[in-house]
Amino acid sequence: MDKMNNALPPQEGNAPKVGFFAKLVEQAYEFMDNKRNRWITLGVLAVIAATVPLYGNAYLLNVLITAMFYMLLALGLNVIIGFTGLCDLGYIAKFAIGAYTTGILMLRFNWSFWLTIPAAIVVAMLAAVATGAPTLRLRSDYLAIVTLGFAEIIRITTRNLEITGKATGLNAIPRPEFFGIRLSKMTHWYVVFLILVVIFVIITNRIKNSRFGRAIEFIREDEDAAEAMGIDTTRYKLWAYIMGAVLGAIAGCFYAVKMMAITPNDLTFTMSANVLLAVVLGGMGKIPGVIMGAAVFSILPELLRDVPVVGDMRMLFFGLLLIIVMIFRPQGLWPERRR
């Protein structure tokens, strides 16, 4: 009798209830399934993003640049956490490698900024191999502790070496030039970071939809089963770790020349936690969700700044909103679609 009851379809009154936000997300998925709707939506977003410098003031552009910077870091971390399922609490170390490599080569050796980017990529790959090869066999909490320790090693090292400027860091990093145009205005950096976000989205989307991306997704879902099917899990995890490190280093290169400085105070655990929070808030593994999470994380506190009463305690209200989202939407604002 129990077997017969289990075989029967669920009655309408006993069907699981779907939340309002989940219905909204599902409707958005169905809307974007239509190719025409998808291209129209992307076109409208592209027009809005391209025309912001025409009407936006310096404050708005600065907020949007900060948001896009977090998007770059979140997209890089998403390769490690969202695609592969590795717990990385020290992602800021990858950003630091790129920023300090650019700063040192430009200030100490008078390199062009554009030549420092390949150098930063090589250094980031070597650092990822040095730390990932012996540790990526670890899982869960153990891997998180190792990555957090590596980030602290980088921060303490930069604070004590002469070449990194010790506690004061590297200052007066020269601004780069692009075809004779010195990148010094806020509109210049808005365009640069917008182009970087588009490039990062294309790269991470190619990773996700490739054979390699399907393999690391399999590892994320069940590493033991993936290994039993013949996937070299350690090698695939190492390559995912390297790719995430390279993306973080590139973001660090542009951050250093945009801010014209990099100090050990920029390398705190809070920074790593903020990037991780953006990925989790948006929806791990979902590229548009990660972008949304980074935008909400960086823009919402600024929107709360001018709200009466809330303004002085905006970070408290922002924290409460994040807790509410995590309680009622633990999978994120825009999670991966599950059929």
Model pLDDT for residues 108-119, shown as the tens digit of each residue: 999 999 999 999
Predicted local distance difference test score (pLDDT) of residue 16: 44
Pairing state between β 181-182 and 261-262: unpaired
Q: How far apart are CA 177 and CA 114, in angstroms?
A: 9
Indicate whether 216 belongs to any domain.
Answer: yes
Which domain covers residue 131, as residue numbers? 58-268
- 114: tokens are 């554009």
Contact present, 150 and 157 (Cβ < 8 Å): no
Beta bridge partners of 170: 262
Q: Which residues does residue 177 pair with via DSSP β-bridges, in sequence order?
A: 182
CA dist list (Å): 284 to 23, 25, 280, 293, 315: 19, 15, 5, 10, 23
Angle between helices 140-160 and 269-282 (to 10 degrees): 140
Question: What are the CA-CA distances from residue 152 to residues 4, 90, 96, 232, 286 (Å)?
Answer: 59, 8, 11, 30, 29
What is residue 13's predicted lDDT score, i.e. its pLDDT? Answer: 45
**The pLDDT value given to residue 53:** 86
Single out the residue of 265, 259, 256 nearest to residue 116, CA to CA.
256
pTM as predicted: 0.89
The answer to whether the beta carbons of residues 293 and 280 sit under 8 Å apart is yes
Residue type present at position 283 = G
Q: How many of the other CB atoms lie within 10 Å of CB of 328? A: 11
What is the spatial distance between Cα 205 and Cα 213, in angstroms, rounded to a whole number? 9
Cβ-Cβ contacts under 8 Å for 257 (sequence gap 6 or more): 102, 106, 113, 173, 174, 175, 176, 183
pLDDT for the residue numbered 36: 86
pLDDT of residue 246: 96
Q: How far apart are CA 113 and CA 173, in angstroms?
A: 10
Mean pLDDT of 121-147: 84
Q: What is the mean pLDDT of residues 262-285?
A: 88
Q: What's the whole-number average pLDDT of the chain?
A: 85
Q: Taken in order 216, 219, 225, 228, is the CA torsion positive or negative?
A: positive
- Report the pLDDT value the prediction gives residue 15, as an integer from 0 to 100: 43
Candidates 330, 296, 301, 329; CA nearest to 317 is 301
According to the model, what pLDDT value does residue 142 have? 79
- pLDDT above 50 (res 4): no
Quick one: pLDDT at residue 327?
81
- Check residue 11 and give its pLDDT: 46
Q: Is the pLDDT of residue 202 over 70?
A: yes
Q: Residue 186 falls within a domain, yes or no?
A: yes
If you average pLDDT over residues 76-91, what whole number do you get? 91
pLDDT, average across residues 278-288: 87
> 311 vs 218, which has greater pLDDT?
218
User: Stretch 281-309: mean pLDDT, rounded?
Assistant: 84
* Confidence at residue 1, expressed as pLDDT on a 0 to 100 scale: 44
pLDDT for res 35: 80
Runs of H (alpha helix) within 109-185? 113-135, 140-160
Residue 61 clears pLDDT 50, i.e. is over it: yes
More confident residue, 280 or 197: 197
Q: Which among 279, 321, 280, 323 is positioned nearest to 300, based on CA atoms?
A: 321
Is 198's pLDDT higher than 70?
yes
Q: Is residue 151 part of a domain?
A: yes
Range with top average pLDDT, 87-91, 225-229, 255-259: 255-259
Which runs of consecutive H residues, i.e. helices, occur in 136-267? 140-160, 186-208, 211-221, 223-228, 233-259
Looking at the domain assignment, is residue 49 inside a domain? no
Mean pLDDT of 71-94: 92
What's the start-to-end Cα distance of the chain, in Å?
Answer: 30
pLDDT score of 305: 76
Residue 167 in domain: yes
Between 253 and 302, the higher pLDDT residue? 253
Q: Given this model, what pLDDT does residue 139 score?
A: 67
Question: Which residue has better confidence, 1 or 70?
Answer: 70
285 inside domain? no
Domain-located, residue 288: no
Here the tokens at position 134 are 């012996």
Distance between CA atoms of residues 230 and 233, nearest Å: 9
Angle at 70 between CA 256 and CA 319, to 5 degrees: 130
Residue 200 pLDDT exceeds 60: yes
Residue 10 lies inside a defined structural domain of this protein: no
- The number of folded domains in the chain is 1
- Among 217, 246, 231, smallest CA distance to 132 is for 246
Mean pLDDT of 228-251: 93
